Every structure is written in structure tokens, then in C-alpha cells.
Amino acid sequence: MIPFRFHNPVNVVFGRGAAANVGQEAVQYGRKALLVYGQASLKQSGLYDRLVLSLQQAGVAVVPFGNVQANPLLSHARQGIALAKAEGCDLVVAAGGGSVLDTAKGIAGGAGCDIDPWDVLSKGTPFTTALPLVTVLTVPAAGSEMNCGFVLTDDVASGIKGGGFGGSPVFPKVSILDPETTLSVPPGYMTYACADVMSHLLEKYFTASSTWTPVQDRLIEGLVLAAMECLAAIHADPDALSPREAFMWNATLAWNGLPPCGLGGSTPAHLIEHGLSAVFPRIAHGEGLALIQPTWLRWFAMRSPARPARFARAVFGVDVACDTLAGVEGARRYLDFLARFGGPRDWSGCGVAEADLAAVARSASQLAQVWGMADAYPEPLILEILKMALSANLKPAPVDAS
Amino acid sequence: MIPFRFHNPVNVVFGRGAAANVGQEAVQYGRKALLVYGQASLKQSGLYDRLVLSLQQAGVAVVPFGNVQANPLLSHARQGIALAKAEGCDLVVAAGGGSVLDTAKGIAGGAGCDIDPWDVLSKGTPFTTALPLVTVLTVPAAGSEMNCGFVLTDDVASGIKGGGFGGSPVFPKVSILDPETTLSVPPGYMTYACADVMSHLLEKYFTASSTWTPVQDRLIEGLVLAAMECLAAIHADPDALSPREAFMWNATLAWNGLPPCGLGGSTPAHLIEHGLSAVFPRIAHGEGLALIQPTWLRWFAMRSPARPARFARAVFGVDVACDTLAGVEGARRYLDFLARFGGPRDWSGCGVAEADLAAVARSASQLAQVWGMADAYPEPLILEILKMALSANLKPAPVDAS
């Protein structure tokens, strides 16, 4: 195992109806909250009003800051920082999915210590202090509710989508996970969420530099199988709460730093996807991962087959003796699994042409510098994998008899 | 899922050789440490001297407090509290296994806030503050390094072995997990450790009150299988570090509060075992669990077969359609697995007679009051299960063909 430090101080409050208690949690950390949220859906569902009521009843004044978009923008986070400072907020409350929580981390850090979020993401400088952050998660996927990472696109200058860790100060103090808030997420979007969760669990599993890691391997395989079981149950009955609930907890566990402890490894599909959705912000992060991860896995299985083969056997029951063939078959089943629930079987529907891929590769390779992955994933290699994904998946996959 | 709160702020530092850095970690929390340890083995291995050197070089003065015994005593913890106060210690450093860490929690809390550890364990009153605690784990089993629980036997008055949670103040600030320190633990003792780890993982899995919990189920099944894989590897090569290393992390994960989140459930085998080792302190906790858990499981499978059957199929590949028969077979394989690595196949070697069981049941039933389990496990039922364990396991189990 690779030496590691694991320290995750987030206080997770999980349960049906828990969102209504946001005020009691928040008032322990501040009296004037910048309430960060996204689009109109939070208001349409009535959740926005319930949160404001709970905060106000607990004695927490609310300064609303909405309009966070998917693939959130640096310029918007900076507006939030300015507003939090101007209003004298001593607390940030985030209500939404990963984009909202990530924006809120940028604001909490930027308003708390005068370090700009882009310095954190482009130079790896962590925030030294931050306004306390309380989150209410409504879209389970990114895992932002139980880590100190965040992703923003620099729409001001470089156009790069940057992702990184903001340091201990931007761990949420409290994250409220109320599965009832997720019932409005369409099943098709849950497939993208599942692609994100599976990628979070599997990237370092595939690329681990440790050799004998049965604990992490079985833990990760178990969580991957559970995520798949949940997704199937959500599609079977989108109104049932239990599958939503289980998936929500699975998504949090997938990217809270614990599953890959000791593995080493890196996150190449996330790297390439951030390039894709930086250039094409209309592509959701999970959709982008569904477009990239299976192809990356097939490419990787042909070079380093042991881990992909283990995955194929443990998760999909692939019964093939040759590691390379097993790994490639695992990649095919990965794609097929997501496609069965509305994920993209190929790139034909995403509106990306081969001529666009150079810009995607360039954006990803800039992030690779920050992530220390530039040697393993130089720009030409990223472009090669992208071309493989764009073209190879256009061939219809064989019918899955499993 | 049952609503839950998960908050575990322990900073885990994991890696080969990490123990040598105890001083750098400890000096962030205090300048005069009560160094709690157990028997002579820590000194014989040279680890004691290395820890003292590291602490002193970092500027942390050391007040030694040794002689913690297995199944540690309240009177001894109180001596430690008095010494820490008399010496003006502002920090507790614990170096050893679960007994040492548990004693150190009692001392850290008792010296920090004038609440007696026995009030915590007998009345459920948590410590309000505590001296900061830094631990160096040398025996992976109890999981004390990443939780706020502790176990002490009241040798002053009641004779009861009490276990409970001390509250947030006694979470270790830092726990150093250095697998090299565990190489001296004999393989036979690692079997007891594995019995403890499996029980930690499985008690609430078996007794869960939630119905659809694929995330927790697969996570727990994965960790159980990994623990078993590690134990077999440790017995195959006791000097190999990788299996020790993986087992160490597995043991920590097993009882850090995360795997059973949302399950509900209770810990009946631990309840009964604490009664057993209160009356017979020579019986190690893990040995006692190996004597009790399989019989409890067989008893439980005949009353509530669904979860035991799932366990039998997922962990041992039992291929029996009837849940009750599958669950009973799972209990048999559980016993056989531990026995294959030196665990007790029956009670013949532990020196406990049927006439002793009433005292054991009485002790356990007193703890059941504190744990809120008295309705589900009244004293006559505990006695019945104990008698079943003492007698039934004497019958040789069929040869395991798996």
C-alpha cells in the first residue's frame, strides 16, 4: 500500500426529511448565510422556501445567491465572494448538486481568506481559512458534500476547467443528505450520476500502483455493484425512495477519499472529461464520463490488463482466462450497462466532431499539468484516446447476452 | 435506511515506518504527554524507545504509564488520570492495541473534564472535554484508533465490563497506523483479531432493521471477504508485510462507524462476549467472539433467516435455496473458517463450565441495560445462547468441502 493520510471531518446528517433541519445545523456556525443555489427547480419544488424558513426560524439571516449553472463558472463564484463580503456573511449554505456545492466552496474559501479560487485550482495553493460551509445536497453524483474538492471553469481568461482540493477549510462543516430532495432528478440524469460514481470509484482502482490491495479492491467492487443495483432499481421505479436513498449514500462514499486510500493511482477519465466539458459546457460531467471512461478502459486494458481484468470478473462476471480479453470485455459491458439505462452508446448524439477534439485535448492537457499527470498523459495521447472514443464507439456493440 | 449522523474527525496517518513520526504529530497538540502502553513487548521490540525519542526530539516531554492489561481495568485508568493530573500532562499518547487505546481514552477524558470513565460507560454520559489523544496502533483488531468508543472492566465495584462511546472529545486527534509494528503479533492471535473484525462488520448487518440496503451490504461483505483473505495470507506467511498491512486497514474500517450507517441493528455477540471476558479476563475479546458469534448466528438464522442467508451466500457461496438452512450453513462455515486458522472449534479449551454461565449471563445482562438491549436480550435468553454455544459446538462439525 502507498502511505496515506485520511482525514475527513465532515458531519454527515442523513435521512428522509433532514433538509428541514438546516437551520438548527447552520446556526451553530453563523448568523448570516449566503445561500448558494442553482436554477429555478429548487424554488419550484418548494425546497428553497423550506430552507429559508428553517434558517430564519433558527435565527440565520439569508442572502440569496442563485443561478449556479452546470459546469459552474469562476466569474460567478467571484460574484458570490464579492456579495458575501459586501453583506458581511459569516456562513455559506449551499443547496443543490455538485455544481452548487463546488461554487459554494470557492465562495467560502475566497471570502474567508482572500485567496482566489482560481489560484487554488491552477496552482494547487489551498485556502488557508474559509467561511464555514453547510450543504444540502439535492443531486447525488459529485461527492462534493463529503470532500474538500471543487471544480470551476475559468470563463474569465483561460477557458480551462480546473478541479482540485481546496484544503481542510472548505470541507463542509455539515452536509445534509435528504433523499427526498432527489426524487425530482430524472432517471436519465441518474444514469449520468452513476457514470460519475462508477468513475470516482474505479479510476484509482484501475491505475493503482500498489499490488496487493484486497481491502480496497473488494470495498470498491462492492460499491460499484451497489451503484449499478441502485440505478437499475431507480429506472424500474423512479418514484421509489429506497433506491434513491441508497444511491445517494453510495455517491457520497464514492468520492470522500476513503475507497482509494493506499492505492496510489490517478484519474485519467476525469482529466479528459474536464477537457471535454470545458469546451462543450452543455455536456454534463457524468455524460462526458460515460463517453470517455469505457474507451479509456479498453485502451488501458490492452496495455495494463491485470486490474481491468479483475474488474471485469468481479463486477460483470466475465469468465475469460486471458486478462487482456477479459479487460476489453469489461470495458464493453461497462458501456453496455450505462447504455441500457439511457447512457450514450456512442458519440453520435453529443454534437462533437473530430475537428473539435484538438481543443478538448489541449484543455485537458493544461489540467494535466496541475494534476501532475502530464508525463503519463501528454496532449497527443489524450487526443488519441479521444479519437478512439469518438470513432470506435460508433461501431454497434455486440448484443450483450449477460 | 435508518436516519443517521456520521462524523469521524480522526486524522489517520497510515504507512510503513510512520510510527517514527509520532513526535511531529503529537507536538501539534501538546508538550507533555502521558505515554500509555501495555506490557513489556513494546520495550522488547524497541518501539518504545523509538517513540520516546521521536517525542522528545519534537519537544514533547514524556511521562510513562505502562502495564495496561488485556481486558483493561477501570482502576488502572483512574491511576492514569491521577498521574496525568499530577504531572500536568496536556496530551495523551497511546501505543499498543485496543486495550491500551481504550485505557488512554478513559484517561484523556477523565483528566480533561472530571467525568469519571465509569460514569461514561455505566450511564452513557459522554465526556464534555478531554486531553488531546494521539495513538500508535500495534495490534489491529478493536478499531479503537478511529472511533470514540472504549471498553473497561469495573474491577473496583461491580465487576462488569462496560463498553460505550465517550463522545467527540475522545476521538483520537491523530492515529498512526504503521503496519511494521504489527509483525510481532502471532498468527494465532491474528485469528482472534479477525474474529473481532468480522463481528464488528457483521453484527449490525445481521440485525439490520432497514430492508433494502445494497450499499452497506456489499460494502460489508467486501470487507469481510477481504479480512478473510488477509488472515489466510498472514497464516501462509507470517513475516510478509502486505497481508498485515491490508488487515490493519481493514480492522480500522470495520469499526469506525461507517459500514453500518443507516442499517440500524445491534451488537448481541459483543454484548454476550463482554459478559464472558468480564468473568473470565484471561479470555481475549476476539477469542470470546469466536466462541459466541457462530452459535449466536445459528440461533438467529433459525428465527430471522433472511440476513444470515444473504451472508452465507455472499461470503461463503452457500448454494441452498432455503434461507434458514443457508443461514445455519453460513454459521457452520463461519466457525470452520476461524477454526482452520486456530480459532476454537468448541469450548473445550477455554476452561468454562456450564455452572459458570449464569455469572456470564448476569454480567452481560447488566451491560444490556446500558446498551438498550435488555428487551431483546433478557438474561434467560443470554444464558440459553451461552448454553447452546458451550454444548452444541462440542459436536464435531462436518468436514467442510469448500
For B76, the enclosing helix (H) or strand (E) is helix B74-87
Contact B7 A4 (CB under 8 A): no
Q: Is the pLDDT of residue A131 over 60?
A: yes
The series of mean pLDDT values per 10 residues for chain B, 402 residues long, is 98 98 98 95 94 98 96 97 98 97 98 96 95 98 97 94 95 98 96 98 97 97 98 98 98 98 98 96 95 97 98 98 98 97 94 96 96 97 97 56 44
CA distance A8 to chain B (A): 6
- What is the per-residue pLDDT for A401? 44
Distances (CA, A) of B97 to B49, B144, B146, B301, B365: 17, 8, 12, 33, 27
What would the pLDDT profile of A298-333 be if each residue is shown by its tens digit? Answer: 999 999 999 999 999 999 999 999 999 999 999 999
Q: Which residues, other chains included, contact B215 with Cβ-Cβ below 8 Å and sequence gap of 6+?
A: A223, A226, A227, A230, A246, A247, A249, A250, A253
What would the pLDDT profile of A341-357 be if each residue is shown by its tens digit? Answer: 999 999 999 999 999 99
B283/B324 Cα distance (integer angstroms)? 31
Residue A229 is nearest to which of B214, B216, B219, comparing CB atoms?
B214
Residue A214 is nearest to which of B3, B7, B230, comparing CB atoms?
B230
CA distance A9 to chain B (A): 4
Sign of the dihedral defined by the CA atoms of residues A112, A118, A121, A123, in that order: negative
CA atoms within 13 A on the CB side of A89: 31
- What is the per-residue pLDDT for B39? 83
**What would the mean pLDDT of A140-145 be, rounded to a whole number?**
97
CA distance A62 to chain B (A): 25
Contact B249 A230 (CB under 8 A): no
Interhelix angle B306-316/B214-236, rounded to 10 degrees, is 40
Total residues found in chain A within this entry: 402
CA nearest B242 in A: which residue?
A212
CA nearest A176 in B: which residue?
B5
Q: Which residues of B155-168 are buried (b: 16+ CB within 10 A; e: fewer)?
A: beeeebbbbbbbbb
Express as a percent the part of chain A with pLDDT over 90: 94
- B234 near A CB under 8 A: no
Q: Which residues of A touch B250 (CB under 8 A)?
A: 215
Distances (CA, A) of B254 to B105, B173, B177: 19, 19, 15
**What would the mean pLDDT of A267-284 be, rounded to a whole number?**
96
Domains of chain B: 11-182 (3.40.50.1970), 187-392 (1.20.1090.10)
3-state helix, strand, coil in chain A (%, to 5): 55, 10, 35
CA nearest B250 in A: which residue?
A215
A303: which 3 cell numbers? 496495455
Q: Which residues of B touch A179 (CB under 8 A)?
A: 1
Contact B230 A250 (CB under 8 A): no
CA nearest A230 in B: which residue?
B214
The answer to whether B29 and B173 are in contact (CB under 8 A) is yes
* Pick from A36-45, A66-75, B99-108, B319-328: least confident: A36-45
Q: Which residues of B touch A213 (CB under 8 A)?
A: 246
**What would the mean pLDDT of A234-243 be, rounded to a whole number?**
98
- B4 near A CB under 8 A: yes
CA distance A258 to chain B (A): 9
- A71 near B CB under 8 A: no
Contact A226 B219 (CB under 8 A): yes
- B326 near A CB under 8 A: no
Please give the order of strands across the beta sheet that includes A32-36: A61-65, A32-36, A91-96, A133-137, A174-177, A11-14, B4-6
**What would the mean pLDDT of A246-275 be, rounded to a whole number?**
98
The answer to whether B148 and B171 are in contact (CB under 8 A) is yes
The answer to whether A56 and A14 are in contact (CB under 8 A) is no
- B241 near A CB under 8 A: no
Question: Which of A266, A65, A279, A254 minimizes the C-alpha distance to A161?
Answer: A279
- A258 near B CB under 8 A: yes
CA nearest A15 in B: which residue?
B3
- A215 near B CB under 8 A: yes
The answer to whether A123 and A167 are in contact (CB under 8 A) is no
- What is the per-residue pLDDT for B322? 98
**What would the mean pLDDT of A255-273 be, rounded to a whole number?**
98
| Identity of residue A54 | S
- What is the per-residue pLDDT for B108? 98
- How many Cβ contacts (< 8 angstroms) between chains A and B? 133
- B278 near A CB under 8 A: no
Contact A1 B226 (CB under 8 A): no
Task: Indicate the average pLDDT of chain A.
Answer: 95
- A7 near B CB under 8 A: yes
Residue A246 is nearest to which of B1, B14, B250, comparing CB atoms?
B1
- What is the per-residue pLDDT for B401? 44
Q: Which residues of B255-286 are buried (b: 16+ CB within 10 A; e: fewer)?
A: bbbbbbbbbebbbbbbbbbbbbbbbbbebbbb
- What is the per-residue pLDDT for B402? 45
